[in-house]
Amino acid sequence: MKPTVVCLLCFALCSSTTFSAETGTLRGFSTESSRTQRDWESKFRAIPEPANMRNYMERLAARPHHVGSPYDKDNAEWLLSKFKEFGLDAQIETFEVLFPTPKERLLELVEPTKFTAKIAEPTVATDPTSSQRQEQLPTYNAYSTDGDVTAPLVYVNYGIPDDYDMLDRMGISVKGAIVIARYGGSWRGIKPKVAAEHGAIGCLIYSDPRDDGYFQGDVFPDGAYRNKDGVQRGSVMDMPVYPGDPLTPGVGATRDAKRLDRKDVTTLTKIPVMPISYGDAQPMLAALKGPVAPGNWRGALPITYHLGPGPAKVHLKLAFNWDLKPIYDVIARIQGGTYPDEWIIRGNHHDGWVNGAEDPVSGLGPLLEEARGFGMLMKQGWKPKRTIILCAWDGEEPGLLGSTEWAEAHADDLQRHAAVYINTDGNGRGYLEVEGSHTLEKFINGMQKDIDDPESKLSVWKRLQFQRIANPPPTNPQDRLEARNRPDLRIGALGSGSDYTAFLDHLGIASINMGFGGEDGGGIYHSIYDDFYWYTHFADTDFTYGRALAQAVGTSVMRLADAELLPFDFNNLTDTVRRYVDDVKKLANDKRDQIIERNRQIEEGMFAAVMDPKHKLAIPPKEPVPPFLNFAPLDNGLAALQRTAQLYDEALAHANENGGSALARAALREANAKLISVERALTLNEGLPNRPWFKHQIYAPGFYTGYGVKTLPAVRESIEQKQWKLAEDEIVKVGKVLENAGEVIQGATTELGRSIK
């Protein structure tokens, strides 16, 4: 139904109370069961305690707890005991994964002067855990290959493909060189991958103070931001190919699993790579000569940024222990009463790079309070209809190891039973940002209206709406209008970067990631300073946002577990996919127009004419004009999706008549099973081109962006990479996927109609 002017006014003026009063009945519940549900949810939301989350953090972040460390195992056992203390069935599942740790690290400038990099983060007197030198993992990038290289240095900005195009035009090659890239612009693992593709033999990644340091704010311990010796550790595994244990792609890394030989693994880097601080980077960058870096390549160090190559020459030597290490997933289970074979899964990792207070414990504390809350409600007589599984994952930091191995080990069961996966990974202050499957967008909006923001006392939904009205993206100013008028706030799409990846991208399980953020700047990510001291001085210091996160996730889990009919919605999905289809059409057109225009500029002699003869740039070669692509299969698939989504809504409206009494009576097992399989229908077993592990056809992490999402990835990336024939083929495949999903929705409609007769 089109909203009338009166409705729009109402939306603008009356806020959430009017909206929820109008639709007091929860989606997928009868009026009666909705009332009972809201009672249980209110009881639940009164339970989470900030003081408990503070205590959990003090305990879990007390010592370094990376994969393979004594305290990682100790934490897993403690988590197990907490789940049991709360009255839940719980156990630890163990896998054995390849996890390299440094044996030797050396970085020195050998020409024109000598300088040996510190590659260490010093103890800060006021920060007690920063002195735990014995147990701290050194600064390094996990899954870098071993290497001993000496070569001239080249500065490559963020080290993404566009940067190398620019270097090409400036006549600078990185062949045989060691590149130095700054963090940002892409996920870190992309930098050594692209550097190696261009012939570099080593890669340094540093945190520039413009992006991560004093340019952003006062540095630790005076402020929250990265100090000159702070280093961002992190994985450089080629996760856009497949995440998880590099030796066991597609299967669980159990003790007797069949393992690849390390030399056959495709997800390790081709060249040695190491992260460094801006304290260590500055002398090396200052020793570069050659052209001055383009304006937008310059950071905030007090030097003139040059590109090289040389005369700075560096020596990088890295050797790792390539050991198998145990990881400990802690899994708690609450058996469902009515639909025990339908699972709602909720997870957050427990391993950190060092003490890991913000990442991950600030999201794990809320999970524990949810578990405690569910345990208390069960003692009062609450029994979820569906089975709830709570997971504290190990090994997220090196490569989503714990969640991926668990998902691969239980793939068959998960594909049969898993309805939804909800993830968090750390928490801060600000707005409740949610990303995930658009089949759940409407559901998430409903939940957000029932959670209070700790600072403003508005609902987190209302506060997020105001934020979007206040700050629409500069590229899309019309989003302000949409934030005001669209009944649901949009949720973002998921790329990668946390434990939802295997569930969504590999198994096709509708997934959600959420957390508060936007008011919690800082610069301790993956350093020894991400600890209890930092978090309780600079982040959600009173843990009230921790409580709000527990309330938001707990309410979501309960509502999904208790709904008579799973609250998926397909109109928002269709609306979102339509935007993605428009996007890829525009991308193809823009690409074509750009190539035509540039070819013309080359013919006209524009490049030669505007060039500063003292700073020569190569004239780019002319390119063949791309063909027009036929997008009709995508349009047809979309039309099928749209039709079936509307029919499903009509059937649901019918089921909701008379207070949903039909819903309350019906056996909905078949309808729910069909609803669960809609997200599966958005996958293809053959996966994406060149990366079969990634099966979802609507969302994927970008091959050259890492964490950043690519929607309609097969189509979008083949256009971006100018593979026009592949693009045509993928359009046909994805169109068919949309049609198939439409058929599954139609099946759900039929089952719903049958069961409420």
The neighbour count for residue 187, using CB atoms within 10 Å, is 24
Give yes or no for residue 530 binding Zn ion (CB under 5 A). Answer: no
Q: How far apart are CA 99 and CA 72, in angstroms?
A: 14
346 versus 385: smaller Cβ distance to Zn ion: 346
Least distance CB 66 / Zn ion (angstroms): 12
CB of residue 234 to Zn ion, shortest distance in Å: 10
Q: Does 359 bind Zn ion (CB under 5 A)?
A: yes
- Classify 712 in phi/psi space as left (phi over 0), alpha (psi -120 to 50) or beta: left
Distance CA 18, CA 701 (A): 38
Closest approach of Zn ion to the CB of residue 526, in Å: 9
Distance of CA 609 to the CA centre of its chain: 45
**In this chain, which stretch among 409-417, 422-430, 603-611, 641-649 interacts with Zn ion, using CB under 5 A?**
422-430
Which phi and psi (to 5°) does residue 26 adopt?
Answer: -75, 145
Q: At its nearest, how many Å lie between Zn ion and the CB of residue 497? A: 8
Least gap, CB of 595 to Zn ion (angstroms):
40
Q: Which range of residues in 271-279, 413-421, 425-433, 534-542 is near Zn ion by CB under 5 A?
A: 425-433
What is the nearest approach in angstroms of Zn ion to the Cβ of residue 513?
11
Stretch that binds Zn ion, among 76-84, 185-193, 357-365, 458-466 (CB under 5 A): 357-365
Kindly tell me which of 72 and 359 has the beta carbon lying closer to Zn ion.
Answer: 359
Give residue for tokens 């009026």.
31
Contact segment (CB under 5 A) with Zn ion among 251-259, 356-364, 455-463, 611-619 equals: 356-364
Return d(Cα 378, Cα 561) in angstroms, integer. Answer: 13
CA separation for the pair 557, 551 (Å, rounded): 10
The distance of Cα 545 from the centroid of its chain, to the nearest Å, equals: 20
**Smallest separation, CB 496 to Zn ion (Å):** 12
Count of positions on this chain that bind Zn ion (CB under 5 A): 3
Q: What angle do CA 431, 434, 437 make, to 5 degrees?
A: 170
| Cβ-Cβ contacts under 8 Å for 81 (sequence gap 6 or more) | none
Helix (H) or strand (E) holding 679: helix 669-681
Q: Does 398 bind Zn ion (CB under 5 A)?
A: no
Give the span between the Cα atoms of 285 and 181, in whole angstroms: 10
Please identify, using beta-carbon distances, which residue of 360 and 373 lies nearer to Zn ion. 360
Query: Could you tell me the end-to-end alpha-carbon distance of the chain, in angstroms, rounded to an integer?
Result: 26
Region at 104 (left for phi over 0; alpha for psi -120 to 50; beta for the rest): beta
* Footprint of Zn ion on 143-202 (CB under 5 A): none
Report DSSP letters for 433-484, one per residue: EEEE-GGGHHHHHHHHTTSB-TTT-SBHHHHHHHHHHHS--TT-TTHHHHHH
CA distance 297 to 55: 44
Residue of 211, 425, 435, 520 that binds Zn ion (CB under 5 A): 425
Stretch that binds Zn ion, among 239-247, 355-363, 431-439, 547-555 (CB under 5 A): 355-363
Minimum distance of Zn ion from residue 61's CB (angstroms):
13
Question: Rounded to the nearest whole angstrom, what is the least distance from the CB of residue 158 to Zn ion in the complex?
Answer: 22
Chain-centroid distance of CA 385 in Å reads 29
Task: Give whichever of 530 and 730 is closer to Zn ion, judged by the CB atom.
Answer: 530
Name the token pair of 371: 């578990």
User: Stretches 134-142, 219-227, 353-361, 522-530: which one binds Zn ion (CB under 5 A)?
Assistant: 353-361
Contacts of 511 (CB under 8 A, 6+ apart): 420, 421, 422, 423, 436, 437, 494, 500, 503, 504
Nearer to Zn ion, 121 or 425 (CB): 425
Site for Zn ion in 562-621 (CB under 5 A): none
With contact defined as beta carbons under 8 Å apart, do 548 and 375 qualify?
no
Q: Are 384 and 561 in contact (CB under 8 A)?
A: yes
- Closest approach of Cβ 499 to Zn ion, in Å? 8
To the nearest whole angstrom, how small is the minimum distance from the Cβ of residue 418 to Zn ion?
22
Q: Which is nearer to Zn ion, 400 or 493 (CB)?
A: 400
- Minimal distance, residue 553 CB to Zn ion, in Å: 16
Give the Cα separation of 242 and 677 in Å (integer): 23
d(CA 405, CA 410): 8
Site stretch for Zn ion (CB under 5 A), options 170-178, 244-252, 360-368, 450-458:
360-368
Nearer to Zn ion, 41 or 359 (CB): 359
CB of 202 to Zn ion, least distance (A): 28
360 binds Zn ion (CB under 5 A): yes
Dist. CA 658–CA 681, nearest whole Å: 33
Q: Which stretch binds Zn ion (CB under 5 A): 306-314, 352-360, 372-380, 566-574?
A: 352-360
Q: Pick the stretch among 100-108, 211-219, 282-290, 358-366 that binds Zn ion (CB under 5 A).
A: 358-366
Nearer to Zn ion, 359 or 435 (CB): 359
User: Strand, helix or coil at 511?
Assistant: strand
Which residue's CB is nearer to Zn ion, number 361 or number 734? 361
Q: Which is nearer to Zn ion, 349 or 559 (CB)?
A: 349
Q: How far is the CB of 399 from Zn ion (least distance, A)?
A: 12
Cβ proximity to Zn ion: between 237 and 566 the closer is 237
Q: Which stretch binds Zn ion (CB under 5 A): 91-99, 180-188, 421-429, 486-494?
A: 421-429
For position 739 contacting Zn ion by CB under 5 A, the verdict is no
Nearest to 266 by CA among 234, 238, 240: 238
Check: CB of residue 488 under 8 Å from CB of residue 446: no
Give the residue with the Cβ less far from Zn ion, 359 or 370: 359
Interface contacts to Zn ion, rule CB under 5 A: 359-360, 425
